[in-house]
Amino acid sequence: MEMTDITIEQKRTLLDTARDFATRAYVPYSHFPVGAAILVEDGSVIGGVNIENASYPLTICGERSAVVTAASRGHRTIFAVAVSAPKAPATTPCGACRQVLNEFKPTDAEMLVLLDEGDTWQETTLSALLPAAFGPRDLERADDA
């Protein structure tokens, strides 16, 4: 699967799922809900929400929560991610989430990133958001040395 293979229906499903998940974010401190949805190699769409904690730094973002669920189910390639932050249209994944998403990017394709804007959305790629990323291939290169 490549970015160009992702259909408009899949994009809409990703955005709808991210918006739906955002309604279940646990955000008693920031009141800033985030829902995320990721498209994996078998075509499933898996959602996540931000989950805050009374010990503030233990908060997990919506994007990482979706990745944790997907990886726990055995998925290892993420073709697309949608992010919905209803209070701030076109919110992008934080730096930590970009790095965690990078771990599961396709080897020969871009990872599509959809940023919810309510009625519409913006499209970018993980490579655009995290250029020159450090990832699993760097460790593989080191093993070869």
Q: Which of 15, 17, 75, 93 binds ligand THU (CB under 6 A)?
A: 93
With CB under 6 A as the contact rule, the residue among 14, 46, 52, 115 that binds ligand THU is 52
Other beta carbons within 10 Å of 130 = 20
61, 113, 115, 126: residue in contact with ligand THU (rule CB under 6 A): 61
Q: Residue 79 or 93: which CB sits closer to ligand THU?
A: 93
68 binding ligand THU? (CB under 6 A): no
**How would you list the strands of the sheet with 78-84, edge to edge?**
45-49, 35-40, 78-84, 112-116, 121-125
63 counts as catalytic: yes
Residue with tokens 């055995």: 74
Report the residue number, 11 or 98, with the smaller CB distance to ligand THU.
98
Q: Which of 52, 63, 103, 117 is catalytic?
A: 63
